[in-house]
Amino acid sequence: MSTFIKGLEGVVVAQSQLSYIDGQAGQLIYRGYHIHDLATHSSFEEVAYLLWNGRLPTRAELDDLKHQLALNRQLPNGLLAILRSFPTTAAPMAALRTAVSAAAMFDPEAEDVSLEASRRKAIRLTAQIPTIVAAYERLRRGEEPILPREDLDQAANYLYMQTGQVPDPENARALDRYFILLADHGMNASTFAARVTTGTLADMHSAITSAIATLKGPLHGGANQKAMEMLLEIGQPDKVDDYIKRALAEKRRIMGFGHRVYKTEDPRATVLRRMSKELCEKMGATKWYEISRRIEELVTTEKKIYPNVDFYSASVLYVLGIPVDLFTPMFACSRIVGWTAHVLEQLADNRLIRPRAEYVGPKDLTYVPIDERG
Ligand code: SDX
């Protein structure tokens, strides 16, 4: 048995070819390509192909993947009926978790854990999750879901399904870049959950349900919503100093900061900070960027911890018109690619993931009949 390490900090639990993180240098690489290059030159669909297949696609291969995604966006009627039954007050991540679990019952290959079927389900789930999120958003507002379009890419189609308007191309490109940045990230908690589930040879929908349930937590994917709630509570740039100094004095967690692996700036935050500045200026909402920058100055100075992917995501998603409690579902719309890529990698060379626990409880106690207990 190895020594107990709380939170598995630094423990290597798998070998993977999907993404490489250098926490000291602040580097992230997907299948050999630096995240900055991909965020600049690539698209979410191309990154999905790269993560699933290990190389960049030819144009024909990319067009075929886009076609596959477009064909699989519509939800089965039975699944939409289940979405309609949800209370409008349900937490969106609870709605997404439940809907993905239910989606298995309408997928003819749900119980087929072969690599070939799992690859097809990876595409179907990547296509369906944005539709589930947008449909739930409209239903809870008392509006009819908007059917997905086949002529728009993933990001543009999500914004269309949420608003009914074909989005400004710059806004669609911003969401596309957000999706690129969040697509995969090594053995983060939700990916680990997906791999543990796959390790028992449970199906893809079970693994993704585990992952969504795990992402929901505020220490993980739920931090982007909490970060935006903090920006809204602060409200104005001149209120930042009092708020942050009080929060730090009260030992509160500043959501969107710190990371288990990055001990310098998260390279995704570098890109998202620039995107936040550009988008906030374009939308005439520079205060969200200014508040964020001041928070960053104070927290990095006082605590020597840096913004992670969830901090500047907050202002980016907010000015793109995403409702604040849909921020973590947006994270899931991207990370579904990484989760499914890890499921496929686990399946290809599987061994049950079953660690040990160090027992620190009592031993050799004598059983006392209930009538003789104090
Ligand atoms: C994501 O793993 C991934 O890759 C995840 C992710 C991905 O792409 O999948 O990158 C996405 O989940 C990003 C993280 C989002 N979460 C948050 O922003 C929540 C706030 N962050 C923290 O709770 C924390 O930084 C964690 C959970 C992210 C990391 O926690 P660790 O590694 O367990 O570190 P820790 O809690 O032991 O903290 C170490 C020290 C502590 O100080 P001391 O108590 O020892 O004096 O740093 C302090 C903490 O108090 N600290 C913070 C802080 N984060 C750490 N103090 C204030 N605010 C924070 N945000």
Mind listing the pLDDT tens digit for each residue in 239-263? 999 999 999 999 999 999 999 999 9
DSSP structure class, residue 33: E
Question: Active-site residue among 184, 203, 266, 310?
Answer: 310
Residue 295: predicted pLDDT = 98
State the DSSP code for 104. G
Using CA atoms, how far residue 279 sits from 53, 197, 215, in Å, is 33, 39, 26
What is the distance between the alpha carbons of residues 44 and 26, in angstroms, rounded to a whole number? 22
Identify the architecture of domain 19-218+322-348 in CATH: Orthogonal Bundle (1.10)
Q: What are phi and psi of 340, to 5 degrees?
A: -70, -35
CA of 228 to the centre of ligand 1 (A): 17
Distance, in Å, from the CA atom of 139 to the CA atom of 152, rounded to the nearest integer, reads 22
Q: Is 327 in contact with 313 (CB distance < 8 Å)?
A: yes
With a Cβ cut-off of 6 Å, ligand 1 is lined by 7, 185, 188, 219-221, 223, 253-260, 303, 305, 308-310
Cα 318 to Cα 6, 142, 225, 256, 310, distances in angstroms:
35, 22, 10, 15, 12
**Predicted pLDDT of residue 160:** 98
Q: What are 299's two structure tokens?
A: 């927290």
Split the chain (374 residues) into runs of 10 and give each run's mean pLDDT. Answer: 95 98 98 98 99 98 98 98 98 98 98 98 98 98 98 98 98 98 98 98 98 97 97 98 97 97 96 98 98 98 96 98 98 98 98 97 98 94
Task: Give the domain ranges of the chain.
Answer: 19-218+322-348, 223-318
Give 150-163 as a DSSP string.
SSS-HHHHHHHHHH
H-assigned helices in the chain = 35-41, 44-53, 59-71, 77-85, 92-103, 115-140, 154-163, 169-182, 189-199, 204-215, 223-234, 240-249, 267-282, 286-303, 309-319, 327-348
The per-residue pLDDT for range 30-87, each reduced to its tens digit, is 999 999 999 999 999 999 999 999 999 999 999 999 999 999 999 999 999 999 999 9
Provide the 3-class DSSP secondary structure of residue 29.
strand
CA distance 17 to 337: 14
- Whose C-alpha lies nearest to ligand 1, atom 58? 253
310 catalytically annotated: yes
Q: Which two tokens stand for residue 98?
A: 């439940």
On whether the CB atoms of residues 301 and 83 are closer than 8 A, the answer is no
Question: Chain-wide mean pLDDT for the chain?
Answer: 98
Q: What does the pLDDT look like over 177-198, one tens digit per residue?
A: 999 999 999 999 999 999 999 9
Residue 270 and residue 291: Cα distance in Å, rounded? 16
Q: What contacts 24+ positions apart, CB below 8 Å, involve 164-171?
A: 170/282, 171/279, 171/320
Expressed in angstroms and rounded, the spacing between residue 219 Cα and the centre of ligand 1 is: 7
Distance 277 CA to ligand 1 centre (A): 24
Told to judge if 220 belongs to the known catalytic residues of this protein, a careful annotator would answer yes
- CA–CA separation, 170 and 131 (whole Å): 21
In whole angstroms, give the CA distance from residue 268 to residue 108.
37
Q: How many CB atoms lie within 10 A of CB 112?
A: 15
- Give residue 121 CA to ligand 1 midpoint distance, Å: 33
CATH fold for the domain made of 223-318: Cytochrome p450-Terp; domain 2 (1.10.230)
Tell me what pLDDT residue 299 has. 97
Q: Of 253, 268, 312, which is best to mutate to test ligand 1, by the most ligand atoms within 8 angstroms of its C-beta?
A: 253
Residue where the block lists tokens 């690489």? 29
Residue 276: CB atoms within 10 A of its CB come to 27
pLDDT of residue 33: 98
Beta strand 33-34 pairing with 19-22 = unpaired
Instruction: Give the model's pLDDT for residue 345.
Output: 98
pTM for this predicted structure? 0.97
Spatial distance between the Cα atoms of 133 and 329, rounded to a whole number of angstroms: 7
